[in-house]
Amino acid sequence: MKKAIRNLMSKLPIDSLANPDPVVAILPLEGVIGSSGRFSNAINLANLEDKIKSAFDVYNVKAVALEVNSPGGSPVQSELIVKRIRELSEEKEVPVYAFAQDVAASGGYMLSLAGDEIYASKASIVGSIGAINAGFGYTGAIEKLGIERRVYAAGDNKSILDPFKPEVEKDVKMMKGLLKEVHDFFKDFVKEARGDKLKGVQKTMFSGLVWNGEEAVKLGLIDGIGDVRSVMKEKLGDDVKFKRIKEEKSFLKGMLGVRNSKASMADEIVKTLETRSEWGRFGL
């Protein structure tokens, strides 16, 4: 084996060994952000940790490119992923560039803040800097069905916002206050990451609105229009190579995936519906 490697190396041009082509590691960040238990194919740090490290460990890597395609989700997981990417970027002294695909909205936009620079297509959907909580009320439904609900709790606020009970003003006020705190956190996160690059009126930028790529450039939410290959070739030269980081599925995972129980299949359907509702907010 060693002899074969030596023979192969001897056939390579000396210049290619001394000056290997620069490599860009492409790290896809696609899907709804949150725990795996809630969403189908969710993005979270636990699922991405190995792939993030692999991106920075690619031989002769000169940059990591994030391909972001996400309608959002958990701000906590978004922050954890961004922090991990920035830690490795500083530790390895490798720059990071983010590229919005169809959507980089809400938590998806937060993910792109891991990049030193952010790019998008003219038709990409960018923004949605806000916080939301959505649900349903079933009080009329259970009355019509003749169902009596029995709830026992310790703690005055343990059953607030129960979907089977009428809304209570103080509970709604509490939820709005919580959402405001999350929104403030999101705004501060954007300000810290983008700094003086932000050009738009903050009341507008942080209103939850979304914009196409060109408008996002004008607001300073992103740095320019472009795709991974064109931007990276412009920065590193035409000889740049691209290495896409893929998830490695073990034999055991494959076996487990095939043998889903009816209960797990039903659970997966619910997750899929939740995931599609998140994408559906942006017409996708």
Instruction: Tell me the mean pLDDT in the region 76-104.
Output: 96
202 within some domain = no
At 185, list the tokens.
Answer: 């956190």
**Residue 59: pLDDT over 90:** yes
Active-site position among 70, 89, 106, 124? 106
204 against 4, higher pLDDT: 204
Residue 159's contacts (CB-CB under 8 Å, 6 or more residues apart) are 151, 153, 165
Instruction: Tell me the mean pLDDT in the region 204-225.
Output: 95
Confidence grade of residue 200 (pLDDT, cut at 50, 70, 90): confident
Active-site position among 53, 158, 199, 218? 158
pLDDT of residue 1: 55
Confidence grade of residue 269 (pLDDT, cut at 50, 70, 90): very low
At 224, list the tokens.
Answer: 């320019």
Instruction: Tell me the mean pLDDT in the region 53-73.
Output: 96
pLDDT of residue 278: 57
172-198 per-position pLDDT tens digit = 888 889 899 999 999 999 999 999 999
DSSP 77-110: HHHHHHHHHHHHHHHHT--EEEEEEEEEETHHHH
Structural domain of 42: 2-128+209-280
**Residue 259: pLDDT over 50:** no
pLDDT of residue 152: 77
pLDDT of residue 98: 98
| DSSP secondary structure code for residue 46 in this structure | H
How far apart CA 39 and CA 107 sit, in angstroms, is 14
Instruction: Tell me the mean pLDDT in the region 103-120.
Output: 96
Element (H, E) at 205: helix 202-205
**Residue 120: pLDDT over 60:** yes
Number of domains in the chain: 1
Confidence grade of residue 280 (pLDDT, cut at 50, 70, 90): low
Range from 8-12, 88-92, 153-157, 250-254 carrying the lowest mean pLDDT: 250-254
pLDDT of residue 10: 53
122 within some domain = yes
Work out the percent of the chain whose per-residue pLDDT is above 90.
55
Residue 99's contacts (CB-CB under 8 Å, 6 or more residues apart) are 65, 66, 67, 68, 118, 119, 120, 226, 227, 228, 231
193 within some domain = no
Residue 227's contacts (CB-CB under 8 Å, 6 or more residues apart) are 99, 119, 121
| DSSP secondary structure code for residue 209 in this structure | -
| DSSP secondary structure code for residue 22 in this structure | P
15 within some domain = yes
160 within some domain = no
CATH, residue 226: 3.90.226.10
Range from 128-142, 168-182, 222-236 carrying the lowest mean pLDDT: 128-142
Helix (H, G, I), strand (E, B) or coil at 218: helix
Distances (CA, A) of 199 to 54, 59, 105, 224: 35, 38, 18, 14
Range from 16-25, 76-85, 114-123 carrying the lowest mean pLDDT: 16-25
154 within some domain = no
133 within some domain = no
pLDDT of residue 154: 81
> CA angle at residue 65 from 280 to 228, to 5 degrees?
75
Kindly give the interhelix angle for 169-194 and 75-92, rounded to the nearest 10 degrees.
20
Closest CA to 279 of 39, 51, 65: 39
Is 106 known to be catalytic?
yes
177 within some domain = no
pLDDT of residue 251: 44
